[in-house]
Structure 1
Amino acid sequence: MGILSGYRVLDCSIAMAGPFAAQRMGDLGADVVKVEPTAGEWQRFRSAGGANGNRINTSFLSLNRNKRSLAIDLKSDEGKAILLELVKTADVFIQNYRPGVAKRLGVDYATLSAINPRLVYVSMSGFGESGPYVDRPGQDLILQAMSGAMLSAGRAGDPPAPAGQFLADAVTAYSAFEGALAALLHRERTGEGQLVEVNMLDAVVAFQMQEMSVFTAGGKPQTRSAEPHAHSYIRSPYGVFATADGFIVVAFANLKTFGELIGEPSFADMDDEADSWVHRDAIFAATRERLATRTSAEWLDLFRTHDVWSGPVYGYADVVADPQIAHNGTFVEYDHPSEGRVKTPGFPIRFAATPAGVTRGAPQIGEHSREILGEAGMDAEAIDRLIASGAVRQD
């Protein structure tokens, strides 16, 4: 039994951030009902990196495990009535419609909280529910660019560098998951549900708590210099360096010790805090030149022996094969009826008494419609009529 067993989540979200947040709750045992159109959520049919599944593409597969699918036409009276009936017994409702759409559909917080005052209603958006950017699309790359994060690393004059992940989406998903859990705790104490609003812009700015505070409270400008430092506010050497056969990273090295190890005498009399800022580019350039002379394994063995913080630069194949990853059980594997054996990152938090797990893979469109409607009290004849009318889909 997961820690959220007994709670029901209605997931009316699409794309990444909302489904990822809902999946987190499903991993912890909540009954997550994915409410999707009768044609299926569009993410089902969009490949990730060209990876196409049999019936379910990789993006949808990765974000919708531990859910049941209810496929209904929310624009029909019958479909909307079904959702409002389910709200009566739901604990959490998650949506990431564009601002104003939920109200037009009649599934806004005011409407649903009148039906169920105990409901935790999580509304996710790109920029917020109001304001000058309310109508702008909340897309990950756009939010990364507007968050300031792209100018916190790299070389001055080079193009800003986005993260290699959907960073804004992932951070927003975790923020929504955290907000839902906090609101549930409040409800346990008071009996009251509430509206929880999460937007991508605020989430990704808050994610940069230290960096932003160095600027806003410390008054230090966000300055990229001549060398490609991995962080604009960290002293040199700090970054990725080419070796004779690959790449490694070095962080927070004591300059005297580090200089002795790599054969760079100019570091001997430098102060770690003061000189590593003043001579940041010179230190980086000298490190780059020295590290190119030996292999990654040679440098890493030497640095670990002398407690210099360093590590390899992995690709995904290296991550999957890493012994610590295997020891931690970082990935979960399960059999899916249409996609075969699936291996994907699992839930990263360990609970001693109520562990997370996978009870089902991502559902087919409306796979559980009949089951869910039966639980809501509808008889078989009524469900058959809804399916025949097109208001409900059952695969």
Structure 2
Amino acid sequence: MGILDGYTVLDCSIAMAGPFAAQRLGDLGANVIKVEPLTGEWQRHAPAGGITGKKINVSFLSLNRNKRSLAIDLKSEGGRAVMQRLVEQADVFIQNYRPGVAGRLGVDYETLSALNPRLIYVSMSGYGEDGPHARRPGQDLLLQAMSGAMLSTGRKGEPPQAAGQYLVDAVTAYTAFEGALAALLHRERTGEGQKVEVNMLDAITTLQMQELSVFTVGHKPQERTAEPHAHVYIRAPYGTFATTDGFIALAMPAFPALARALEAPELATLDEMKAGWEDRDQTFAMVRDAIARFATADCLARLEAEGVWCGPVYGYADLVADPQIAHNGTFIEYDHPTEGRVKTPGFPIRFSRTPSELRFGAPLTGQHTDDILQASGFSADEIAALVQAGAIGRGDA
């Protein structure tokens, strides 16, 4: 039995952050019902990398396993009535609509909690449900830019570089996942449901607990310099360096060990505080020139022999093939009825008694409409009438 077996989640979210959070609940055994429009959720039609798939693109496929799809028109009276009956039996409701949309659709917290006081209502937004930025677009890159983090890396005077992943979306997803679990624990103790509000701006800001405290408590400003240090608040050398055939990452080495490994005696004479903090650019350049003389494998072997913290710079092909990734079982593989063999990242938390489980892959639009409604007490005649009225759909199931 999964940890969340017996709990029902209504996932009305779109794009990445909301669906990712709901998928994590599904990975732990929850009965996740993906509530989407009759034409399918937005992410079905917006494939990352242009990889459209056969009937399900990779973006949607990666964020919607362990869910069943209910196609429903929430703008119709019949569709809203269906949703209200489902809410009466649900444990968690997740939405990331633009501010005001949930109210217009009749799925705001006040309406749904009146139907089910035990409901955990997770509301996700870009900047908060109200306030001066509430109606700004909650898009990952825009939040990365606003978070301040971009100005902690790279060269002074050059455009800041975004993270190589959808960082804010992922962090917000995990924040919502944690919030839902905590609220469920509270309900188990008290019987009370509640509203859980999560926004992308707070999620990415609080992720920088250490860095922002250096600024707010230590009053040290962000000062990018000429060399491309990997962070403004860590002593040099700290970053990526080119070898004769690739790149390595190097983190805060002791200068005598670095000097021995790179056959660069001039590095042994450097003072850690002065070279690491005051003369960061000069130190970075010295290390860069020393590393540039070696091939990657040779350089890493030398550094590791001296106990220096270092590592290879991987691409995705290297990561997927890494033996530690294989040992950990980081990726899962399964056969999807329309997309064939799927290999995708799995659930990263290991439980000794209640491991996560892959029960099914991402659904087709409305694939489980009949099953979900029948299990919720709808008769065959009611379902047929709702289909005929256009309130629900079976999509491309």
TM class, shorter-length: over 0.9
Residue equivalent to 2:103:
103
Alpha-carbon distance, 1:267 to partner: 2.2
Alpha-carbon distance, 1:46 to partner: 1.6
Which string of whole-angstrom CA distances, capped at 9 and with x for unpartnered residues, describes residues 333-374 of structure 1? 011100011000000000010001210000000000000100
Q: Is the 8 A contact 1:264 1:286 kept in 2?
A: no
Residue equivalent to 2:297:
297
Q: Distance in 1 between matches of 2:261 and 2:19?
A: 48
**TM, length-normalised to structure 1:** 0.99
Query: Is the counterpart of residue 219 in structure 1 residue 219 in structure 2?
Result: yes
Residue equivalent to 1:320:
320
Query: Is the counterpart of residue 137 in structure 1 residue 146 in structure 2?
Result: no
Write out aligned runs for 1:134-283 (5 A). Answer: 134-283=134-283
Which string of whole-angstrom CA distances, capped at 9 and with x for unpartnered residues, describes residues 316-336 of structure 1? 000010000000000000111
Residue equivalent to 1:3:
3
Q: Distance in 2 between matches of 1:45 and 1:134?
A: 26
> Sequence identity, in percent?
66
For the aligned residue pairs, the C-alpha RMSD in angstroms reads: 0.8
Query: Is the counterpart of residue 89 in structure 1 residue 97 in structure 2?
Result: no
Alpha-carbon distance, 1:272 to partner: 2.2
Q: Is the 8 A contact 1:237 1:283 kept in 2?
A: yes
Letter in 1 for 2:228: P
Q: Is the 8 A contact 1:9 1:93 kept in 2?
A: yes
- SS in structure 1 at match of 2:49: coil
Write out aligned runs for 1:121-132 (5 A). Answer: 121-132=121-132
Q: Is the 8 A contact 1:243 1:292 kept in 2?
A: yes
Write out aligned runs for 1:347-386 (5 A). Answer: 347-386=347-386
Which string of whole-angstrom CA distances, capped at 9 and with x for unpartnered residues, describes residues 266-325 of structure 1? 322323234311121111101111111110000111111111000000000000100000
Q: Distance in 2 between matches of 1:224 and 1:292?
A: 23
Letter in 1 for 2:124: M
Alpha-carbon distance, 1:379 to partner: 1.0
Alignment gaps of 5+ in structure 2: none
Q: Distance in 2 between matches of 1:80 and 1:180?
A: 24
Q: Distance in 2 between matches of 1:392 and 1:37?
A: 8
Which string of whole-angstrom CA distances, capped at 9 and with x for unpartnered residues, describes residues 144-179 of structure 1? 000001111111111111011111111100000000
- Name segments (4+ residues, structure 1) moved above 2 Å: 263-267, 269-275
State the number of aligned residues: 395
Which string of whole-angstrom CA distances, capped at 9 and with x for unpartnered residues, describes residues 121-142 of structure 1? 0000000011001111101111
- SS in structure 2 at match of 1:223: coil
- SS in structure 1 at match of 2:269: coil
Q: Is the 8 A contact 2:24 2:177 kept in 1?
A: yes
- SS in structure 1 at match of 2:302: helix
**TM, length-normalised to structure 2:** 0.98
Write out aligned runs for 1:61-76 (5 A). Answer: 61-76=61-76
Q: Is the 8 A contact 2:123 2:196 kept in 1?
A: yes
Of 268-277 and 250-259, the range deviating more from structure 2:
268-277
